[in-house]
Structure 1
Amino acid sequence: MSDLSGKAFLVVGATGALGSRIARLLAGRGADLTISGRSADALAALGIDGAHIHSADLREPDAPRSLVEAAVTQHGRLDGVIIAAGVVAFGPVTDIDDDTVDDLVLVDFLAPLRLVRAALPAMEAGGVIAGISAVVAEQPLPNMAVYSAVKAAAAALFTAVRTEARRRKIRIVDVRPPHTETGLADRAIAGDPPKLPTGLDPDAVAARIVEAVLGKETDVPSAAFS
């Protein structure tokens, strides 16, 4: 899949630091793109020529299905889905209120589950679904307990679905990058981030994710980025 001419990809979370870079890399290889985020204006501002824009709020139960349907309708096929959307929250578990828990679960776990569920029956054989969880799925951290647990649940989902998807000849990739300079920590939906070491370059992380998507990998742990 190194030459993606004629292949259709859906990039969810395309306005984020990683999602935008991944979308541009895929477009540069000739892929037909549907890009999604909450803001249509922000998606248009990415300036990816020919990209089909479909804004959606992943907290809405029907949003994942509508995204998959929009991509298939636009391109006539679907060969890949990149799930790069996510939110983060900080603080002791006793300080994380129910609304914050709900948003974490909706965006970081239920949305990927619903995207996988909608995409698998619609995808072409030989396609790929890549979910970006996080290093905290491997190493849960204090003051990030709820976020760590939700990301671990997403990683478990991708691992378990991988075997189911083989029957459809679809590859499931779970990517767990270390802390990366995406700015996500500064946009936390609750709490203040701890002092973090300098993270990885998002350009390098995005390139590594695309390498995994276009290759044969199914599991890309944090150690694969060192």
Structure 2
Amino acid sequence: MDGEAPRVLVVGATGELGTHAVHGLLARGAQPAVAGRDTARLDALAIRTGCPAFPIDAYDLDGCARAAPRAAAALGGLDGVLVAVGVPAFGSADSVPDAVAEHLMTVNALCPMAVLRGAVPVVRDGGFLAAITGAIVETPLMGTADYAAAKSALSVWLGVVSREVRRRGVDVVDARLPHMDTGFTTRAIAGSPPRLPAGADPATEMAALLDRLLRHLASARR
């Protein structure tokens, strides 16, 4: 990396995947900034790691869009953004309340889109914009119509943005990680999850994703 530490914003940093990402970046010599909804956990993470921290709320889309510019100001620039926010809900399409469907779309699609939309002008050429969508995009299960729709909306959006920023060498990553053993499904805001296979190890999956993202940065700087 030519001796310069990669500067990366992790959004959803207080969740399990986000926390793995922050510690993984630090272990790889990067300089993370962290953002999340749970202010107490965010403050504790910032104290433990020394990372700049910014509270965000998924329903404040303007605030989400400001996260990357704030991180760039705090870090002296921004090489990449990783969005690891998400919330599940389950149930047949006719049983999911409209309020739940709205929440799923806001947290899983509109919030990540706003964060990355705000990041496009500030992330450096040759940087990356990444969001975790998940295998649900490729193989939606019964009882996940609204959850899968929100993640799929984000996936389509990322695909278009990838083409829009290609000339700048920015890598837009639709991270379709497998089902992982994070307890994520137990935190569903509605319904019960369908039968799922054994979950993959989140630390291993996140390590592989970080290695991919940082290899892109290293390659772009050669």
TM-score (norm 2): 0.91
| SS of equivalent to 1:95 | coil
1:220 corresponds in structure 2 to: none
Describe the shift of the 1:216–1:31 C-alpha distance in structure 2 as closer, same or farther (beyond 3 A). closer
In 2, the alpha carbon distance for the partners of 1:142 and 1:5 equals: 47
What is the CA distance between 1:174 and its match in structure 2?
0.9
1:154 corresponds in structure 2 to: 154
What is the CA distance between 1:83 and its match in structure 2?
0.6
5+ unaligned residues in a row in structure 1: which ranges?
218-226
Conserved? CA contact 1:132–1:176, under 8 Å: yes
1:167 corresponds in structure 2 to: 167
1:1-226 to 2 correspondence within 5 Å? 1=1, 5-46=4-45, 48-216=48-216
What is the CA distance between 1:48 and its match in structure 2?
4.1
In 1, the alpha carbon distance for the partners of 2:123 and 2:34 equals: 17
RMSD (CA atoms): 1.7
In 2, the alpha carbon distance for the partners of 1:123 and 1:171 equals: 11
1:25-52 per-residue CA deviation (whole Å, 9 max, x = no partner) reads: 1112222221111122212333542211
Aligned residue type for 1:190? A
Conserved? CA contact 2:80–2:127, under 8 Å: yes
1:38-90 per-residue CA deviation (whole Å, 9 max, x = no partner) reads: 12221233354221111111221212222112202211211110010111100
In 2, the alpha carbon distance for the partners of 1:34 and 1:121 equals: 17
In 2, the alpha carbon distance for the partners of 1:87 and 1:49 equals: 25
| SS of equivalent to 1:96 | coil
What is the CA distance between 1:147 and its match in structure 2?
0.7
5+ unaligned residues in a row in structure 2: which ranges?
218-222
Deviates more, 1:79-88 or 1:204-213: 204-213
For these two proteins, the number of residue pairs brought into alignment is 216
TM-score (norm 1): 0.89
